[in-house]
A and B are shown apart, each in its own frame.
Chain A
Amino acid sequence: MELPSIIRDLGESLIAPRQVIQILIAERRGLTFGFFIVLLCSILVGATATMVFISKLISFVPLGILSWIFGNVAILFGIASFVILSIGYWLIGGLIIHIFCRLLKGNGLFEHTLVAFSYLWLPSFLIGLIAPVLMFLDYLTSLGLFLLMLCISFIWGVILSVQALAEAHNFSVSKALLSMIAPILILIFIFATLFSLKIFVWW
């Protein structure tokens, strides 16, 4: 019995993202692949984060049926929020990254940038693997472990995305890294400006 090619693609993306993105671009199925990665991983992170941050807190407060309602509403709300934010960030962040890639003489299409950027979400499967452990740990330990795994998966995701982006646009890894961190730098710049103009007051 042979495993479906999608499973092999997922596995190979974690160790050889350059090869996989070439195949995905050539077979013109990269966008579907990227969309489902972002969708499923954002559901995963949303559900697990809600379990760790909200559901465990609610369980301390014995409100009976209200706890059940709050718990389930929180899970639904958490998943919906993460999906909307993730897909929004994937599209808008992808657009900004693509603009920077083009500015840095990249020759890939916007579609290719989105596929490469979706690799950022892929290592979050690690959080899914430890979800059963998080469920039984106490609040603070589960919170710490969740945040640690989130950091690890984010760093791993950035590494994969940068490599895929370099391959998709045919430029160096350093240019790909610069394009990747551009949206974050822009966000920091915007917020710093708003704070310095006292449009937001932090209290």
Chain B
Amino acid sequence: MSKSGKITLSDFLGVLVVLGIAIGILVPILASSIMRTYKQEALTDFDRLMQGIAHIPFMKITKKLVKEYTLNVNKEFHAVIEVTGGAIKITEGHGNIVKIRVYAYEGMPWFKGVDSERKYNVYYCERTNTLSINVNRYSVVIEIPSNYISSISLSISGGVAKIDTPLTNLKYLVVNVSGGAVDLKPASLGKVNVSISISITGGALDGNLEFSRYVGESDVKIDMSGGAIDLDIQLPSNVKVKVNGEFTSGIVSVKINGEHVGRSYIEDGYEQASSKIYISYDVHGGIIDVGIRK
């Protein structure tokens, strides 16, 4: 203020400087408290962590549709899938149409990988009614009509594969895992006799095999020399169970309705039963946990 009592430009600017310094120091400290309140919603939940990371600018990872296929398939359809990287997901389709969508990851180079190493190959042979897919560092979504698919052969050495669809007419499911992760959630299995073979030398498989009412004998065969399997098998109450296992090393846990069973187990009335399932395992390493529920 000047001696005449008027506020001069210097006074005004001086107050602004002091205010600016005070605000500039206090606000970031206060801001840290506000951000803290926002952050306390979640602790160390992995999914939320990944969601959070995906929203960090410069780290945002998006998917871009590269190609879409629509195939008219016949009954008794076969799928042969090989995943060496990236992701594949099998979901429920409609009619006799198989839809395949191929997505490319867009984001930081360390996530999407080197372009020259990315590849996918989709081929459908009408004569054998077989769809062949190879994936490396792409994300592929396949819609398969549940009552058309007869067999699935899945080999995975890296990346992620997920089967999350009813497979009412499935006869054969062959899964070979040497790396990566498989999430196996087929529902409505067993309308026909189904044979499931799981071979794992590395990586992990998390499965939930849900059988609907059926007549006949289904079987689940597990060969394991490494990695981890967590397999839940949901059976109708009338299905009788037989378990036969071999293991030389590793950790094995097989439970029926929560109760451990030994290497060899035959449920009363198994031989005469019209609906039964035979579960066998051969373990030479790794960890396996099988839970059977009726």
Contacts and interface: CB of A to CB of B under 8 A. Distances in A.
Interface of A: 1-3, 6-12, 14-16, 40-41, 43-45, 47-48, 50-51, 55-68, 71-72, 75, 122, 124-129, 131-132, 135, 139-140
A139 B28 contact: no
Given A71-B35, A129-B20, A139-B57, A11 B49 contact: no
Interface residues of B, number: 42
B114 interface: no
B5 to A, nearest CB: 9
A3 B15 contact: yes
A43 B25 contact: yes
A1 B7 CA distance: 11
17 contacts: A14-B13, A16-B10, A41-B21, A47-B25, A47-B28, A48-B28, A58-B39, A60-B53, A62-B52, A63-B43, A63-B49, A64-B43, A72-B32, A75-B32, A122-B17, A126-B20, A127-B24
B127 interface: no
Nearest to A135: B31
Given A55-B31, A57-B56, A44 B14 contact: no
* SS of A interface (majority): helix
Contacts of A67: 35-36, 39
A75 B15 CA distance: 26
B117 interface: no
B16 interface: yes
Contacts of A122: 17
A145 to B, nearest CB: 14
A10 B13 CA distance: 7
